[in-house]
Amino acid sequence: MPDGSDAIEIHALAGIDKIAAEHWDSCAGSDNPFVSHAFLLALEQSGSATAETGWLPQHLVAHSPDGQVVGVVPLYIKSHSFGEYVFDWAWANWLHQHGKPYYPKLQVSVPFSPVTGPRLLTADDKVADALCQALLTIARQSRLSSLHITFPLEAEAHRLERYGFLLRQGLQFQWTNDGYQTFDDFLGALASRKRKQIRKERLAVVNSGVIIDTLVGADIKPVHWDWFYEFYQNTTDSKMGETYLTRAFFELLSASSIGDKVVLMIAHDQDGPCAGAFNLMGSDTLYGRNWGAVRDIPFVHFEACYYRALEFAIERGLKRVEAGAQGPHKLDRGYLPVATWSAHWIADPVFAQAIGKFLTAERASVTHEIAKLGEMGPFKKGETTEEQSPPSLLNSPLY
């Protein structure tokens, strides 16, 4: 569809396969693997993110007057709110109680990936503005209830705010590499009690007889994915969760142009493979995504998901480790709270006003939460001996 500007034309595509990888990636860049053509293609080709699973692709592509692709957006029509990690179930219930449908809705995101990254994929401010306008035009013309952009960069969130989007703030726990050369350097920056706790946990894994292999890229074979998928299914089933990703997704991703970015931790005990952690590597960040296990062995989760991830990041000179959603328990392991963002356009003006008031109060609470949790981090502060427990996160009927 034309975007309304004199120079840029924007069209929607019914699948990521409708655009050449080099054209999409020329806009997405190579820093964040989650917005790459290869990642999104693996989701669609594997049957993980499709119309049948409630993720109908409507990706936007912006063309310059000479036909060049100058901007793209990963866009979906959603028939539910699963796999988003910014929870709006209460919003849907509120509209339903007032006799109005919430679904379908428009969603700009990377399915099943609570990873901050660019969502308006362009290097041109004019194109970014045109994409914002196009998103709103689609939402209005389609008469959909709402439009949501989850886990954008903060600068993108504020751009969207200028177009009338309501901003929501969340938090995650992420680790920052403060110039560490070894894992012991990191431990040396911690308060002594926290340092001893981590060493005790790691020693417990060694003494249990568990061995953990870190596999990267071509080191990962189909048998490793067989093991990991069993872990993944077992863990989601046991937690009454949703197994969003199919077995084919992992192997398609591994065979793709970003296969060398895949990092897989596989744990073995005396009975064989028992647990694993799936990660993706960006230009300066390791992103922890999925964990699974078939046997509950103390501290293996911490070792595979957190400590091995930190070691890998230090060895590779990466700046950050993002360990995904949830997790005040990550605080003691060096992962500190950081703000995340989402942007929301609500068609119903009364509902939009109510949501706006709620989000204003929620942002203040989350900002306070981040500050309080940050003060309780494990790093040295004069070697205090008092142990504190993190406060519970905001509990609101609209959260």
Give per-residue pLDDT as tens, 299-344. 999 999 999 999 999 999 999 999 887 778 899 999 999 999 999 9
Which pLDDT does position 237 carry in this prediction?
Answer: 72
Average confidence score pLDDT of the chain: 92
pLDDT average, residue stretch 133-146 = 96
* pLDDT tier, 7 (very low <50, low <70, confident <90, very high otherwise): confident
Write down the pLDDT at residue 171. Answer: 95
Find, among 71, 56, 53, 70, the residue nearest to 15 by Cα.
Answer: 56
pLDDT in the model for residue 328:
80
Q: With 70 as the cut, is the pLDDT of residue 116 above it?
A: yes
N- to C-terminal Cα separation, the chain: 35
> How far apart are the C-alpha atoms of 386 and 384, rounded to whole Å?
6
Domain ranges in the chain are 9-169+339-375, 178-318
Distance CA 295, CA 108 (A): 37
3-state secondary structure of 7: coil
Please tell me the distance from the alpha carbon of residue 55 to that of residue 386, in angstroms, as a whole number.
48
Distance between CA 398 and CA 364 in Å, rounded?
Answer: 15
Cα 346 to Cα 102: distance, rounded to the nearest angstrom = 10
- The mean pLDDT value for 167-179 works out to 96
DSSP string, 200-236: HHHHHHHHTT-EEEEEEGGG--HHHHHHHHHHHHHHH
Check if the beta carbon of residue 185 is closer than 8 Å to that of residue 312. no
**Global pTM?**
0.92
The Cα 164–Cα 152 span in angstroms is 16
What pLDDT, on a 0 to 100 scale, did the predictor assign at position 238? 64
Q: Which helix (H) or strand (E) holds 368?
A: helix 349-375
CATH of domain 178-318: 3.40.630.30
Half-sphere exposure at residue 317, Cβ-oriented, CA atoms within 13 angstroms: 1
Helices (runs of H) and strands (runs of E) counted in the chain: 12, 14
pLDDT for residue 124 is more than 60: yes
Checking if the pLDDT of 66 tops 80, the result is yes
Contacts with 20 (C-beta within 8 Å, 6 or more apart), sequence order: none
Check if 9-169+339-375 and 178-318 are the same fold. Answer: yes
Q: Domain spanning 9-169+339-375: which CATH class is it, in words?
A: alpha beta
d(CA 218, CA 372): 43
Q: How much is the average pLDDT of 193-209?
A: 97
Question: Residue 170 is encoded by which pair of tokens?
Answer: 């969340």
User: Percent helix, strand and coil across the chain, each rounded to 5?
Assistant: 40, 25, 35
